Amino acid sequence: MQNLFNDLEELLQQDGRLVANGVLLKNKVIELGLQLDPVLIGKLLSKPGLKKHFFVGLDDVIVFDKNKFQKFVSNKAFLPDSYTSFKNKIGLATGDEFISSNKEVVLAWPYKDCVLEGGQTKDDIKKNEIFWNEILAPEEIDRLFSKKAFTNFQSYTVKGKERVKDFSLEDNFIIKGNNLLSLHSLSKVFSKKIKLIYIDPPYNTGSDGFNYNDSFTHSAWLTFMRNRLAIARELLTEDGTIWINIDDKESHYLKVLCDEVFGRENFVINFIWQKKYSPANDAKWFSDTHDHILVFAKNKPLFKPNLLPRSEKMNNRYSNPDNDPRGVWKPGGFSVKTYSKDYDYPIETPSGKTVFPPKGSCWQTSKENYLKKLADNRIWFGPKGDSKPQLKQFLNEVQQGVVAKSIWTYDEAGHNQVSRSEIIKLFGDLVFATPKPEKLLKRIIELATNENDRVLDFFLGSGTTVAVAHKMKRRYIGIDQMDYIEEVAVSRLKKVMEGEQGGVSAEVSWQGGGGFNYMELMKLNMVFLDKLNAIRSEKELDSLLKDVMRSPFLNYRFADIISSNAEDYFAELSYKDKRTLVIDLLDKNQLYVNFSEIEDQDHEVSEEDILVNKHFYSLRS
């Protein structure tokens, strides 16, 4: 396939109509193909490989398969930097065709099988849509997702912070770095070891980091999510689940995407969480007061959710008016509407009155069983002994927990104002714009895990997931690449270890203790991209370009640019094109240091970091 790509590109580059400023015009190529342009057709017939691929012989006639040609040129692997009008369709499909309904449905969208790295350093930096990892060959995918080296190892306990020397699988981990690459690295150690994944990803609202161009906004978000969900599934235990917090904008597409990744048969439920307690009277259409929480299992038949604890309000319904030694109880009905003649008999009350079941009903059991219950003091006739019989239901005999309902009100699971107040109480300011309440995470964690089970959140944000997991004695892993990870999530966990009493601390009787390890993906070309995000002048950009040109980790596909006249080439570019060129020049498989190259002298990794990395990756065995 790669040879066909190369042959076609070489042939098309010779046609002046299809090239502008050295760049092949993908739209134009497809347009001429659909028009059966004789010059283009002649060029394709001149190459045996292309002729065999795009033409079909029917008797003595050769037919050009223009649909196959269009799909081939539209393929991301062919000229990956060219976007076309044929690649902005997003919809439900089976095979090659879009459909309106079908029993087996998957999502089809541009660049579905590519990898969107999705790097950012600050929430308020909105990038143009850039597919940083443009995958052309399987070996490149393997290299991109190979395990990475870590650095800046720190161990946090109530005693303070110290350098990490070794690890245990029982440890908690906070990781700074790209979550896609971190997940692939973690899979080498924690595959099938995560009981619960909870994520609160960007909602693709246009103000959350996915402020991309036109119709590619949706495409980018879907690609971004699919890349991460695919590897996340590999981390789950066989009875594990993933819970995804999302709003209406993408929830339905996300459901179909998860059907594809996890299997439609493994969909568990869509919880509705009431995130606001008052209406937005200034809403343009309707007041949005809820989020969705999609739940998928790795293997649904094996998933056994826990019961929610009984509330004090539920237990207060029980009393003991007759001082029964078995404890508090409440009366329940003794009649049923499913009529049986054998269960329709008169009963005499202690006051001497004879009573019958309601018309059209009968008692719930036979007279023989009724007499046994009566002898066991399980029948109640009211305080005066003259009411129809009721069955005593003892609290110590009922199910000690309740099945979770699909709608969670704000008094059950908290709301946005509560979560904001929790953050302000912790930090004195709203250091994170969209935190989730601890009460919400407590409910999810108690439904999906038991003590010492492992919880993962790879959109760590304000750190609510790991903070609640810590208080509830679960092990956890949190991942975020934002610079504020130490200021917010790490700082929050330090307060938790010190015994802070906000959020759900009182409910779970939290008094402090525990610890966690912190580490960062070891940056390589990512250093240049971080610098690029901070640049605001052309002078700084020109200086960065020169530094990039001296790097040994450049994209080999741009070898023609990396030449003696490169500076003259750069000088003719606009500021925007220079920024794009910096990204293009860097080998995206070298954003971070690969573990396999950790002893390469070019990376200058310390002996101590080498030893700790080796120990971390030995945990699996």
- Could you write out the DSSP letters of every residue in 17-80? GGEETTEE-HHHHHHHHHTT-HHHHHHHHTSHHHHHHHEEEETTEEEE-HHHHHHHHHSTTSST
The answer to whether residue 194 scores a pLDDT higher than 70 is yes
pLDDT of res. 559 = 60
The answer to whether residue 83 scores a pLDDT higher than 60 is no
> pLDDT tens digits, residue range 290-330?
999 999 999 999 999 999 888 788 888 999 999 999 999 99
Segment 250-261 shows an average pLDDT of 92
Residues making up the chain, counted from first to last? 621
Least confident of 113-117, 293-297, 531-535: 113-117
Domains of the chain: 2-85 (no CATH), 138-308+404-521 (3.40.50.150), 312-397 (no CATH), 526-586 (no CATH)
pLDDT of res. 35 = 82
CA separation, residue 238 to residues 120, 329, 346, 450 (Å): 32, 40, 55, 15
pLDDT of res. 117 = 56
> pLDDT tens digits, residue range 10-54?
888 888 888 776 677 777 788 788 888 888 888 888 888 888 888
pLDDT of res. 110 = 64
pLDDT of res. 301 = 96
Return the higher-pLDDT residue of 129 and 115.
115
pLDDT of res. 132 = 45
Task: Specify the amino acid at residue 415.
Answer: H
Segment 255-280 shows an average pLDDT of 92
> pLDDT tens digits, residue range 405-463?
999 999 999 998 999 899 999 988 877 778 899 999 999 999 999 999 999 999 999 99
Name the 3-class secondary structure at 445.
Answer: helix
> pLDDT tens digits, residue range 547-580?
888 887 887 666 666 655 666 777 778 888 888 7
Measured distance CA(233)–CA(242) in Å, rounded: 8
pLDDT of res. 127 = 43
User: Two tokens at 512?
Assistant: 């402090």
pLDDT of res. 135 = 44
pLDDT of res. 118 = 54
Return the higher-pLDDT residue of 92 and 482.
482
Residue 276: closest CA among 447, 440, 403:
440
Name the 3-class secondary structure at 396.
Answer: helix
pLDDT of res. 12 = 86
Return the higher-pLDDT residue of 258 and 483.
258
Measured distance CA(117)–CA(215) in Å, rounded: 19
For residue 347, the cross-strand partners are: 355
> pLDDT tens digits, residue range 333-351?
999 998 999 999 999 999 9
Confidence label for 87 from pLDDT (cuts 50, 70 and 90): very low
> pLDDT tens digits, residue range 517-529?
999 999 988 888 8
- Which helix (H) or strand (E) is 68 found in, with range? helix 66-74
Q: In the chain, count of helices (H) and strands (E)?
A: 21, 25
Segment 389-395 shows an average pLDDT of 94
Return the higher-pLDDT residue of 116 and 338.
338
User: Two tokens at 497?
Assistant: 């270890």
- How large a percentage of the chain has pLDDT more than 70? 83
Confidence label for 105 from pLDDT (cuts 50, 70 and 90): low
Helix (H), strand (E), coil (C) string for 166-215: CCCCCCCEEEECCHHHHHHHHHHHHCCCEEEEEECCCCCCCCCCCCCCCC
Question: Average pLDDT of the chain?
Answer: 84
Single pTM value for the model: 0.75
The answer to whether residue 599 scores a pLDDT higher than 80 is yes
Measured distance CA(449)–CA(196) in Å, rounded: 7
Measured distance CA(223)–CA(385) in Å, rounded: 69
Least confident of 210-214, 374-378, 404-408, 590-594: 210-214
The answer to whether residue 607 scores a pLDDT higher than 70 is yes
- How large a percentage of the chain has pLDDT more than 90? 47
Helix (H), strand (E), coil (C) string for 451-466: CCCEEEECCCCCCHHH
The answer to whether residue 265 scores a pLDDT higher than 50 is yes
Q: What is the DSSP letter of 57?
A: E
Name the 3-class secondary structure at 149.
Answer: coil
Measured distance CA(126)–CA(132) in Å, rounded: 15
